[in-house]
Amino acid sequence: MKELVDPNAVERVMLFTAVAGPLVGLIIGALVGAHEKCAARRVIAGVLLGGIGPLVYWMWRLYGVVTNALGLDSVANLVIELVVFAVLGAILGIAVLKTSEQLRRLGG
């Protein structure tokens, strides 16, 4: 029986997103910022948004390592992933808040 989703295909898509994300963010940020007085703000925001791609790829790889080591249905797997995602979410939330304040000052 063939799997519904091929893990190798998912890996390739995630890797492509990790590589292309920051580049696409840079290009879109530059295009949007081209018509503004301070384009740097849009370029920085675009690169940071594009940086989500490598982060998602890293999380995908971490999920695979933890799941392979502890098993898909283990409580330890659930707890580790919950802690990692909660801590990362809190760090990203604080970083987005601080970055948006800095970008607002840069453009204003």
CA–CA gap between residue 40 and residue 51 (Å, rounded): 16
Contact residues for 75 (Cβ-Cβ < 8 A; gap 6+) = none
Q: Which pLDDT value is given to residue 108?
A: 52
Mean pLDDT value across the chain:
89
Contact call for residues 27 and 46 (beta carbons, < 8 A)? yes
Q: pLDDT for 88-100, tens place per residue?
A: 999 999 998 998 8
CA–CA gap between residue 105 and residue 25 (Å, rounded): 21
Q: Which pLDDT value is given to residue 57?
A: 94
DSSP-assigned states of every residue in 5-51: S-HHHHHHHHHHHHHHHHHHHHHHHHHHHTTSS-HHHHHHHHHHHHT
Q: pLDDT for 81-90, tens place per residue?
A: 999 999 999 9
